[in-house]
Amino acid sequence: MDKTSYTNLAKAWEFAEDHAFARQTNALNAARMRAEEAGFTQGSAAQAELLSTLVHLTGATSVIAIGTGSVVETLQLIAGLDNAGQLTAVDSSAQGITLIRSLFARLSDGIATKLRAVNAPAGVFLPRLNGDDYDLIVVAGDAANYEASFAQAPRLLRAHGAIVFTDVLALETPESNGGVLNPADRGAKAVAMREFVETVESDERFVSTLTPTGTGLLVAVKR
């Protein structure tokens, strides 16, 4: 591909992002603003919208969201459940889980979806869950969440269930120096993600693909 093609692809990414952002509800915009004011950087609107679509696509009824400072993504997952099923939110930070519990409190009277928020590291909480009981796991946040979640995914997911990792290009945080795209970026997440993508792609228990949606979305489906 030539330089013009790459320029057009960059413009296409921007167009898709602006389009998804324009489609967000007022409630979702308000949640984004509230989370960012609390110090939680929110990811791509197009990425969050795709996650909601994946809930529909997989027919998921039981979803785990890890790193729930990603409020917009969590809300889109709930929307994808169509007023049914269950969403379990896991966050190791007290501030993050307070934010998500406040959000759940506002939603709980108006929807039938079962909402559960847990303040614990993924590596501590996920081993306690029943196996073969979940359709979709979405992982965001600190690099430590990714390895811990993937280690439990084969046990937790039903056949053909999926685990989705956001920000695998490590571009989301303000301190990013080009993330995975820049070999000179030796930040903790960039370093971890370079190795992690290879780990997932080489695991024969999953079929996986890396997409440029948002700040990099890695989707792995259990065989």
Length of the chain: 223
87 — alpha (psi -120 to 50), left (phi > 0) or beta?
A: beta
Label residue 64 by pLDDT band (50, 70, 90): very high
The enclosing H or E element of 28 equals helix 26-37
Quick: pLDDT tens for 137-188.
999 988 999 999 999 999 999 999 999 999 999 998 777 899 999 999 999 9
**Average pLDDT of the chain to the nearest whole number:** 93
User: Is the separation of the CB atoms in 45 and 17 below 8 Å?
Assistant: yes
Going by C-beta distance under 8 Å and a sequence separation of 6 or more, which residues neighbour residue 116?
A: 86, 87, 88, 89
Average pLDDT over residues 54-79: 93
Angle between helices 94-108 and 71-80 (to 10 degrees): 30
CATH superfamily, domain 3-222, is Vaccinia Virus protein VP39 (3.40.50.150)
